[in-house]
Amino acid sequence: MNLNQLSQIPTLLLFVLYLWTIVWKGLALWRAANLKQRNWFIAILILNTLGILEIAYLLFFAKKKMKLEELKFWQTK
């Protein structure tokens, strides 16, 4: 993909993807820091996977896995 093709992507879509990524990255970094999982923290901080790595970490790899109830709690705030 060159820069001309990138400019054809709608700005709203890029903004939504940015928000999606920042929310999941924030949750995953917070959980990794609290659980003192330094390697996961560094990987999540450096790699940009549009939230895929972050969601996988939260649901499957964290010492204390995130449950659906916790996600619902974040929505009510």
Residues making up the chain, counted from first to last: 77
**Per-residue pLDDT tens digits for 39-67:** 999 999 999 888 999 988 888 888 877 77
Give the mean pLDDT of the chain: 83
What is the secondary structure of 45-69 as a DSSP string? HH---TTHHHHHIIIIISSS---HH
The whole-model pTM stands at: 0.73
Show me where the domains of the chain are located: 18-76
Cβ 50 vs Cβ 56: under 8 Å: no
Cβ 51 vs Cβ 24: under 8 Å: yes
- Above 60 in pLDDT, residue 26? yes
DSSP state of 20: H
